[in-house]
Amino acid sequence: MLEVEDLHVEFRTRDGVAQAVNGVSYTVEAGETLAVLGESGSGKSVTAQAIMGIVDTPPGHITGGRVRFRGQDIFALPENKRQSIRGREIAMIFQDALSALNPVFPVGWQIAEMFRIHQGTSRSDARKRAIELMDRVHIPAASSRARDYPHQFSGGMRQRIMIATAIALDPAVLIADEPTTALDVTVQAQIMKLLRELQQDSGMGLILITHDLGVVADVADRIAVMYTGRIVEHASVDQIYQAPAHPYTRGLLASIPRVDLKGRELAAIRGLPPNLMNIPPGCAFHPRCSSAEELCHRTRPALTEVRPGRSSACHFASEVVDGAR
């Protein structure tokens, strides 16, 4: 359905060139959920923004790669075709639902606008469909609440309204960029459950961008772990939970709070992600990796299949996945 192939994005600023995305490839099929996981600055959002066409204006530059939707190279399409794919076929929701909604219009009106603008639906039909959508994302008393303004809703309910707007045109792919980060844990779980439910009903492909492995465990099929603009591990959720094949994934896994280990100190990955204007040579993770050896300082590990269906960019991936390192 959607294929990202060898994507490169850089930001050219006065201080230097930030290499934000350095050869990312992934695919999402219909009815499938891909979680893209990484710390801030790993390139996960920038990759999504490149898909949506909101990054290729200075200082942002797409310097290589392709994005294909149903086999068509989006970057090569004429502007009007590109615009109709983005927004209709590929929709995106963001972390901050409050600033994404317009404070001066009732929420039902904002959802209805999607139908009026894109499908020329009459005012009364658009309103009816907006209420149906609010119902579908489980907003209680949808028909009366459609007249309320964004500030009259809780953070979780506003995010549901954003989701309703994003799925209004029945997109083939939905990209959700940290959709629950601003919400408390219980509401996070409810929103994830809703996204899963909508995805299963509609058969859309879902890309979930997150820094929190714990949030996506129950909803994702596959996980692509990103670090300094590259995918460092790509595997099924089960494989990653059973035995990560990259020391960075292992660190992320160890930092998830677990109910069964309550009271235990959270293992954090030491140090900080590098400056993207000055990515370390060799394996970019080596300054933070407790398994690093001389080779890691000099030679960049390629993303390679270590086991059927899973890839890792670590010189010692086989030993890591076997627990020998």
Binding site for ligand SF4 (CB under 6 A): 246-247, 283, 285-286, 289, 291-292, 296, 301, 314-316
* 170, 147 contact by CB (below 8 A): no
Report the partner that residue 43 touches, choosing among ligand SF4, Mg ion, none (CB closer than 5 to 8 A by kind): none
Residue 311 Cβ vs ligand SF4, minimum distance, rounded to whole Å = 13
- Say how far apart CA 37 and CA 223 lie, in whole Å: 7
Q: State whether residue 144 is helix, strand or coil.
A: helix
Question: What's the rounded Cα separation, in Å, for the pair 291 and 269?
Answer: 13
Binding of residue 210 to Mg ion (CB under 5 A): no
User: In the sheet where 60-69 sits, what is the strand order?
Assistant: 16-28, 2-13, 60-69, 72-73
Site membership for Mg ion, residue 239 (CB under 5 A): no
Partner whose binding site includes residue 45, from Mg ion, ligand SF4, none (CB under 5 to 8 Å by kind):
Mg ion
Q: Which does 183 bind (CB under 5 to 8 A by kind): Mg ion, ligand SF4, none?
A: none
Place of tokens 């409050």: 98
Tell the smallest beta-carbon distance from residue 8 to ligand SF4 (Å).
21
Kindly state the smallest distance separating residue 257's Cβ from ligand SF4, in Å: 24
Q: Closest separation between CB of residue 271 and ligand SF4, Å?
A: 12
- The binder of 283, among ligand SF4, Mg ion, none, by C-beta within 5 to 8 A per type, is ligand SF4
45 binds Mg ion (CB under 5 A): yes
The least CB distance from residue 275 to ligand SF4, in Å, is 18
Q: Which is nearer to ligand SF4, 43 or 108 (CB)?
A: 43
DSSP, collapsed to helix, strand or coil, labels residue 279 as coil
Total residue length of the chain:
325
Round to whole Å and give the CA distance between 204 and 233. 24
CB of 246 to ligand SF4, least distance (A): 6
Of these partners, ligand SF4, Mg ion, none, which one is at the site of residue 286 (CB under 5 to 8 Å by kind)? ligand SF4
| Residue 153 DSSP label | S
Considering the complex, state which of residue 115 and residue 227 has its C-beta at the smaller distance from ligand SF4: 227
Using CA atoms, how far apart are residues 248 and 313, in angstroms rounded to an integer? 10
Closer CB to ligand SF4, 70 or 297, in the complex: 297
Q: Mark the segment that binds Mg ion (CB under 5 A) among 37-45, 48-56, 108-116, 195-203.
A: 37-45
Our CB check for Mg ion shows the closer of 211 and 300 to be 211
Tell whether omega for the bond before 59 is within 30 degrees of 0, i.e. cis.
yes
> Which single residue brings its beta carbon nearest to Mg ion?
45
The entry of Mg ion, ligand SF4, none near residue 292 (CB within 5 to 8 angstroms by kind) is: ligand SF4
CA–CA gap between residue 156 and residue 178 (Å, rounded) = 13
- Quickly list DSSP for 77-132: S-HHHHHHIIIIIEEEE-S-HHHHS-TTS-HHHHHHHHHHHHH---HHHHHHHHHH
Under the rule (CB under 5 A), what is the footprint of Mg ion?
45
